Amino acid sequence: MITIIDYGMGNLRSVEKAVEKFCQGVKVSSSPEDVAKADKIILPGVGAFGTAMRELRKRRLLGAIRDSIEDGKPFLGICLGLQLLFSESEEGGRVKGLGIFEGKVKRFRGRPGLKIPHMGWNSVRLQGGRETGLQGLDGSYMYFVHSYYVEPKDKDIVFCKTNYGADFTSGIRKDNVWAFQFHPEKSQSAGLKIMESFVKAC
Q: Which residues fall within 8 angstroms of residue 81, CB to CB, at 6 or more apart?
A: 10, 42, 43, 44, 45, 179
- How far is Cα 201 from Cα 35, in angstroms, rounded to an integer? 18
Amino acid of residue 18: A
Q: In this structure, is the dihedral angle defined by the CA atoms of residues 123, 124, 128 and 133, taken in order, positive or negative?
A: negative
Could you count the other beta carbons within 10 Å of the beta carbon of residue 89? 25
Judge whether 185 counts as a catalytic residue: yes
Could you count the other beta carbons within 10 Å of the beta carbon of residue 173? 20
Judge whether 183 counts as a catalytic residue: yes
Q: Which of 118, 146, 160, 183 is catalytic?
A: 183
Q: Which of 16, 146, 160, 185 is catalytic?
A: 185
What is the tally of helices (H) and strands (E) in the chain?
Answer: 6, 14
Q: Which of 79, 91, 118, 196 is catalytic?
A: 79
E strands, the chain, in order? 2-5, 26-29, 40-43, 75-78, 86-89, 95-96, 101-107, 118-123, 125-126, 141-146, 148-152, 158-163, 167-174, 177-180
Q: With contact defined as beta carbons under 8 Å apart, do 196 and 189 qualify?
A: no
Judge whether 79 counts as a catalytic residue: yes
- Catalytic positions, written as ranges: 79, 183, 185
